[in-house]
Structures are given as structure tokens and as C-alpha cells.
A = this chain, B = another copy of it.
Amino acid sequence: MARIWSTDLAEHAGQQVELAGWLHRFRQLSRVSFLILRDGKGLAQIVIEEPALLEQLAALPNETVLRVSGTAVAVAQAPGGVEVHDPVVEVISVPTEPPPFELHRPTLGVQLPTLLDNAAVALRHPRQRAIFRLAAASVAGYRAALQTQDFVEIFTPKIVASATEGGANVFPVDYFGQTAYLAQSPQFYKQMLVGVYERVFEVGPVFRAEPHATPRHLNQYTSLDFEMGFVRDHTTVMETLTGVLRQMVETAREEAAESIALLNLTFPEIPASIPSIHFDDAQRLIERATGEDLTGEPDLAPAHERWLGEWAQREHGSDFLYVTGYPTVKRPFYTYLEPGRPEFTNSFDLIFRGLELVTGGQRLHQYEDYVAALDARGLPHGPFEGYLAAFRHGMPPHGGCAMSIERWVARLLGIQNIRETILFPRDLTRLTP
């Protein structure tokens, strides 16, 4: 008999079934006892009546690994409408100690450090693991959306020769006696590969040596990057991104339905066209609304992003808002300048419920423009040589964007500390497990 998942039990009502998993909970009631078995996908209720078996199970610690065969019986009051009767239980593996917290409570109810220290067990909690099924399904949707549009998946170096992109926030690596660095993003590589495939994407780890211990910072996270050629300008990227987000939601709905239900998640509506506002107009709106003077302010404060999120909701009924045209001083050297207004750029942030979710834009594509941009910032050309080569040999107008899967999941679920959205976080003080 082939073993089935707990979540497929209902389809087997009336049949002999075999299940396997962990002793999630054993509930001894006065007239009947229930073994709750947790497998990789869900929970199954097994009715225990035989006294010898009852005694055996009562003595086993939670998390004992079991194989159970019995009859699947449709019972209206059972969770999911089916339970298992007349079980035969085989003990596969007995824990050497009980779990450090009760995995069968609706939420773990422990402090985050305790949860993270005990990740191997904490992630077994149905709610915790649902978070990462949602993440996996979202990533699958991200890839599916791009592959359908002929984007090619790429795998780029995570060890780079120089800290070219973001200044000081890089981790040094001892590379055979030479100092190298962990890549902060696949930015340069994905641009170079626009010259090859026009459309590329990467899902992979990025490393930021930001020495901040806040609920928003992770020193490694999973970046979802895409880049595309022959764009009109940054708005082509925005349109593509909107479609990608829609597919992320759709795939998650299909592939992670049980997790979504468990997490009580209602997805945001993604409008056919997400509303958009220029940075300059956004500042004027905020000034009029709040009386603040934002003259010369080159960025939006978190409070301003929140205000814009509410404005988008009020004016457009949208959880999402593109803010375009960020000032040149706040964007990287490769950003394309706004035609006619070089103090602004053809860039965007996507604000989701008042918080930044995605950053992107059009990039320079002419070699001379790169030379000018590097010179204007006093940056040497040498460390950029392999990257600049692409632009000496003909590149089309192009652009792209990057988001973190952890941030997407945190925003969707309203999780305050980003560490809860990554399986094994790395932060200022945490290198284990």
C-alpha cells in the first residue's frame, strides 16, 4: 500500500490507507483518544481505542516518527471531515528529548530569539512552515511569469573582485590569499546579459554587510531580479513587474492554498494598471497635506511612504503605488536620467501598503554615459572594466528591478520582524543554526 499525504485523506474515505509523520499531539479524552499525526503537508486525526496502543502512545514523546495504517472514515465532526479508525501504528524513530515548545498550539508563542535558536524544531510548527510554502510558491510564480515572457534564468558570481556597487557594506572574503567580496546584487551581471539574451532573471542570495540590528535588516536575503532590453523606459519595467506580481499571487493561490488558509492571508488586489506618481509631484502632495517643507529633500521618509500608501488607497483604491523619478543623487550611477530633467531619474519604487517593496528603473546604455556618470561621482573605471565592456559593444535601452522574497512575504502577512520570513536568518549577531 502506498503511503498518502494527510491532506489527501478525504479522497480516500472508506479505504485502507497508510500515513507517516510525526506525533503532533496525543489527546486522551474520557471516552476516546486522538493521535494527531503531522506529515510534511498537514495533520491527520487517528482514533485510538485499543488499550494497549493507547498506553504505548501515551508514553511516547511528541515528535516521535510514526507510520500509521488504518481505515479512512468520513466523520462530519473530524477536522477535514475524515479520520482514521482501527489503526496499526509502527514507531520509526523516538526523540531523545521533548520539543522545547508545544508545536500543537495555534501559534508558537515564544520570543523570536528562542524560535530562531531552535529553528530545526520551530519550523515544524504548521504556521511557521506555512510561511515558507507561501514564499516558495511566490518564487515559482515569479519564475513562471518571466519564463512565459522569454526571460532566461541566470546564475551569476557571488564572489566579486571589488566592492563596486554600494561602497562599504560588503563582506570581505579571503579568496586564496586575495581579498574579494560577497556580491551585493547581480546588477552588473544581469545588465551584461541583456546584451546576450535581452531578458534575464535570477533568484539567488545577496549579501549586505549592514551593521544594523533592526527588524528590517538581514545580512543575507533572497533577491528576485530581472532585467530586460529594448524598453521604452522605466515604465516598460513597471508594466512587466505588475504582471509578475499578479502571477506570484496566482501561483501562490494554486500551490499554497492550505498555507494561505492557515495563515489567514487575504491577498491584495493587483490593479490592471498600478497607479503611479512622480517623486516631485508626490512631495508637493505631501507638502500640501502636511504643511512640511520638502525643498531639497532627495528621498521619501518612511512617514511619507506611509502617507502615499494611504493616498493610493484613498484616491485609487490600490494597495500598490509606483513612485517614479527619484532624484539622481539618491540613485546608483547606472541609472538613466529623466529626459529634460537630469536632476531626476527614470527610476521607480513600488510602494505596497505604505512600504517599499521593489526598486527598479531604466539603466544607462551608452558607453559615454557610463564614463560621464563614473567621472561625475569620482569613481575609477578599472573595477568596472568587465561591465563597461558590454556598453562599448552595443547595448539597447534596458531596465529592471529587484525585490526580496522575504520582504514580499513579510508585507503580505504583516510580519514585523523580517527574520521570521527567512528559514535561517543571518544578522549582526546570528550565524547559527
Contact = CB atoms under 8 A, between A and B. Distances in A.
Contacts of A386: 119-120, 432-433
B93 A230 contact: no
Interface string A113-124: 000001111011
Contacts of A298: none
Interface residues of A, number: 98
A164 to B, nearest CB: 10
A192 interface: yes
Contacts of A394: 22-23, 61, 63-65, 93-95
Contacts of A182: 159, 173
A414 interface: no
A229 B39 CA distance: 10
B393 A220 contact: no
A230 B20 contact: yes
A132 interface: yes
A198 B39 contact: yes
A401 B72 CA distance: 34
Report whether over half of chain A's contact residues are helix, strand or loop; otherwise say mixed.
mixed
A392 B121 CA distance: 10
Interface string A123-165: 1100001001101100110010001001011111111110000
A24 B180 CA distance: 36
B207 A159 contact: yes
29 contacts: A23-B394, A40-B196, A41-B150, A65-B394, A67-B230, A92-B397, A93-B395, A94-B394, A97-B392, A99-B393, A120-B195, A120-B387, A121-B195, A121-B389, A121-B393, A123-B195, A124-B393, A129-B196, A129-B197, A139-B153, A147-B255, A157-B426, A159-B171, A160-B431, A175-B219, A176-B211, A180-B431, A205-B205, A385-B432
Interface of A: 3, 5, 20, 22-23, 39-41, 61, 63-65, 67, 92-97, 99, 118-121, 123-124, 129, 132-133, 135-136, 139-140, 143, 147, 150, 152-161, 171-176, 178, 180, 182, 189, 192-193, 195-199, 204-205, 207, 209, 211, 219-220, 222, 229-230, 255, 365-368, 385-387, 389-390, 392-397, 405, 422-424, 426, 428, 431-433
